């Protein structure tokens, strides 16, 4: 646990008692603060009270009297589409509003660090797609390199639940736009921006607000090193703002598909090969085509981001290459579930939007595509350019019929349920084909989250292949 600093003897309100909320309450208490907890759910309040915490109705008048700060969980809106009523009260009263990420950065460093030979470092990863894989891959490389490391944030543990750092430790954090948007303190040593595509637009009042939330990690954080994906104009703009010029190697530009040779430091992947260039010279090259845990161009971009972050820490290219090959990948992200008579079954349940589904469709050939769920604005119309490899689509969930209307000439079948979709795709698939779950939709019509959807797919595939 990271005890929260700066609130000893003070009352701190905590809104939302999920994983991060309870971890925040424990860390505040450990730092000498008096946490006042609230959640609209009676079950969540009961769980907190069972741990000995006091629950205070933050919706009542006068609830913020004597309160030094309100800490809110990332899933609770603080601005758009409209502030939660508790947060609105805090804003009206002038009470500082923060989240666990802000508390982490104000509390992570301690006087014990004066005795360390190597100062602990923090790497933060944000972006629309690939955050989790990039974060886990950096963490895996550090483990292979023998560096003490922990992984937290939007993946693994909550940030305040990790252990106090050892000498030379590197903490790797995945941060969503919800987390970067509100944190009052953001001071990463290395910040990584993977890419940007439309997502969470209602929460950020449009694409500009969404990008602004991501950009705060760099503009507010002032990292020593910035690793920035430049395959979209927003990334190019961000790299331009962070660098004093093209030769400024404090910014490492990364790409999947572009050759980046005119910069002080760049890492890019083309035709399955990763290349590192510094000051006009190629420093290293890695063949990514045989790396089973990182299939497709989108994962090659993730590899470039992780490579650049780890090179910033002085880890050798050959060691990173070996770690790539031992990386098993993450569940629900281009995860190989199994194979039967030459047919591979791939679980990419995390592909909840059109952009991530497009990347999955480009990663494989001859695809039996399982898609559908709670569709987002525009459905799957934007996927038309990527349907050439789809042999047939098997549509499930609430948006199955809407998706069918947008498939054009692509053969398809409305299956409605995962059970039928897996069975039909398994029956019809031939050797050399891939049965791919890449829903291009949220899961909430049939599952509580994308993980449960992926687990259902996995269970049904394993029953099918025996």
- Given pLDDT bands bounded at 50, 70 and 90, which one contains residue 296? confident
Q: Which helix (H) or strand (E) holds 287?
A: strand 281-287
Residue 140's Cβ-count burial label (10 Å; 0-12, 13-18, 19+) is buried
Write the pLDDT tens digit of every residue in 54-76.
899 999 999 999 999 999 999 89
- Given pLDDT bands bounded at 50, 70 and 90, which one contains residue 466? confident
Name the CATH architecture for the domain at 11-98: 3-Layer(aba) Sandwich (3.40)
Around Cβ 384, how many Cβ atoms within 10 Å?
12
Check residue 15 and give its pLDDT: 97
Look at residues 226, 224, 223, 281 and name the one whose alpha carbon lies nearest to residue 253: 226
Mean pLDDT of all residues in 169-178: 97
Check residue 139 and give its pLDDT: 98
Q: Looking at the domain that runs over 106-326, which CATH code has it been given?
A: 3.40.1190.10
Pinpoint the residues of the chain covered by CATH 3.90.190.20. 335-465
Pinpoint the residues of the chain covered by CATH 3.40.1190.10. 106-326
* Least trusted range by pLDDT, from 78-82, 144-148, 287-291, 331-335: 331-335
Check residue 422 and give its pLDDT: 98
Residue 77 CB partners (closer than 8 Å, separation 6+): 83, 84, 87, 203
- The percentage of the chain sitting over the pLDDT mark of 90, rounded to a whole number, equals 91
Write the pLDDT tens digit of every residue in 323-350.
999 998 888 988 889 999 999 999 999 9
Check residue 292 and give its pLDDT: 85
Q: Does the CA dihedral 8-13-17-21 come out positive or negative?
A: negative
Going by the annotation, the residues of the binding site for ATP are 127-133
pLDDT of 90 over the 90 cut:
yes
Check residue 200 and give its pLDDT: 84
Check residue 97 and give its pLDDT: 98
Write the pLDDT tens digit of every residue in 432-444.
999 999 999 999 9
The answer to whether 52 and 60 have CB atoms below 8 angstroms apart is no
pLDDT of 149 over the 90 cut:
yes
Look at residues 19, 14, 31 and name the one whose alpha carbon lies nearest to residue 68: 14
Q: Which helix (H) or strand (E) holds 371?
A: strand 367-372
Check residue 156 and give its pLDDT: 81
pLDDT of 221 over the 90 cut:
no
Check residue 133 and give its pLDDT: 93
Output the DSSP codes for 68-118.
Answer: EEEEE-TTS-SSSS---HHHHHHHHHT--EE-HHHHHHHHS--GGGGG-SS
Q: What is the DSSP letter of 157?
A: B
Q: What are phi and psi of 205, to 5 degrees?
A: 55, 40
Name the CATH architecture for the domain at 335-465: Alpha-Beta Complex (3.90)
pLDDT of 369 over the 90 cut:
yes
Average pLDDT, the chain: 95
Write the pLDDT tens digit of every residue in 112-142.
999 999 999 999 999 998 999 999 999 999 9
The 3-state DSSP composition of the chain as helix, strand, coil percent (nearest 5) reads 35, 25, 40
Check residue 19 and give its pLDDT: 84
Look at residues 275, 280, 362 and name the one whose alpha carbon lies nearest to residue 288: 275
Check residue 259 and give its pLDDT: 95
Pinpoint the residues of the chain covered by CATH 3.40.50.720. 11-98
Going by the annotation, the residues of the binding site are 127-133
pLDDT of 258 over the 90 cut:
yes
Query: Alpha-carbon distance 383 to 442, whole Å?
Result: 16
Residue 158 CB partners (closer than 8 Å, separation 6+): 19, 20, 23, 24, 100, 152
């Amino acid at each position: 646990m990271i005890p929260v600093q700066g609130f000893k003897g003070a009352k701190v309100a905590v809104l939302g008692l999920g994983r991060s909320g309870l971890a925040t309450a424990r860390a505040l208490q450990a730092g000498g603060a008096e946490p006042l907890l609230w959640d609209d759910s009676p079950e969540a309040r009961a769980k907190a009270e069972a741990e000995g915490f006091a629950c205070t109705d933050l919706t009542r008048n006068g609830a913020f009297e004597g309160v030094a700060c309100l800490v809110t969980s990332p899933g609770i809106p603080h601005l758009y589409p409209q502030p939660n009523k508790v947060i609105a009260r805090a804003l009206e009263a002038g009470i500082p509003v923060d989240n666990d990420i802000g508390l982490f950065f104000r509390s992570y460093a301690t006087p014990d660090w004066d005795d360390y030979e190597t100062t602990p470092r923090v790497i933060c990863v944000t972006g629309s797609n690939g955050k989790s894989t990039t974060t886990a891959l950096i963490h895996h490389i550090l483990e292979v390199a023998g560096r003490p490391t922990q992984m937290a944030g939007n993946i693994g543990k909550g940030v305040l639940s990790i252990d106090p750092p050892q000498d030379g430790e590197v903490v790797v954090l995945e941060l969503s736009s919800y987390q970067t948007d509100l944190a009052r303190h953001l001071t990463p040593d290395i910040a990584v921006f993977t890419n940007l595509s439309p997502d969470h637009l209602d929460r950020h009042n449009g694409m500009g607000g969404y990008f602004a939330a991501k950009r705060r990690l760099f503009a507010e954080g002032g990292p020593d090193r910035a690793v920035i994906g430049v395959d979209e104009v927003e990334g190019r703009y961000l790299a331009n703002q962070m660098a004093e010029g093209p030769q400024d190697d404090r910014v490492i530009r990364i790409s999947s598909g572009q050759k980046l040779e005119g910069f002080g430091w760049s890492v890019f992947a083309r035709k399955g090969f990763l290349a590192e260039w510094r000051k006009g010279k190629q420093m290293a090259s890695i063949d990514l085509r045989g790396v089973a845990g990182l299939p497709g161009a989108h994962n090659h971009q993730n590899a470039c981001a992780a490579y650049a972050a780890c090179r910033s820490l002085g880890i050798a290219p050959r060691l990173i290459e070996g770690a790539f090959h031992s990386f098993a990948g993450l569940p629900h992200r281009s995860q190989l579930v199994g194979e039967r008579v030459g047919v591979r079954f791939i679980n990419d349940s995390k592909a909840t939007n059109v952009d991530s589904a497009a990347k999955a469709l480009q990663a494989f050939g001859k695809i039996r595509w399982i898609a559908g769920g709670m569709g987002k604005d525009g459905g799957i119309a934007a996927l038309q350019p990527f349907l050439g490899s789809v042999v047939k689509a098997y549509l499930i969930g609430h948006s199955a019929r809407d998706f069918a209307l947008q498939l054009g000439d692509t053969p398809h079948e409305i299956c409605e349920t995962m059970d039928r979709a897996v069975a039909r795709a398994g029956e019809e698939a031939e050797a050399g084909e891939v049965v791919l779950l890449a829903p291009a939709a949220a899961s909430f019509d049939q599952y509580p989250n994308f993980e449960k959807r992926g687990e259902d797919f996995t269970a049904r595939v394993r029953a099918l292949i025996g």
